[in-house]
Amino acid sequence: MTFIINIYILINKPYIFSIFILLLLFNYL
C-alpha cells in the first residue's frame, strides 16, 4: 500500500517523493 503511494507521489512530484523516502529511511533506523 505504502509502495503504491510512493510511486504515485513519484510520478506527480519527485521532490516530495524524495522527502518521503528520507522519512521511510528514518523509520527503518
pLDDT for 27: 84
Reduce the DSSP state of residue 18 to 3 states and report it.
helix
**Model confidence, pTM:** 0.41
For residue 4, give the C-alpha cell. Answer: 503504491
pLDDT digits (tens, 9 = 90+) for 1-29: 688 887 777 777 767 778 888 888 888 87
pLDDT score, position 5: 80
| CA–CA dist 28, 10 (Å, integer) | 20
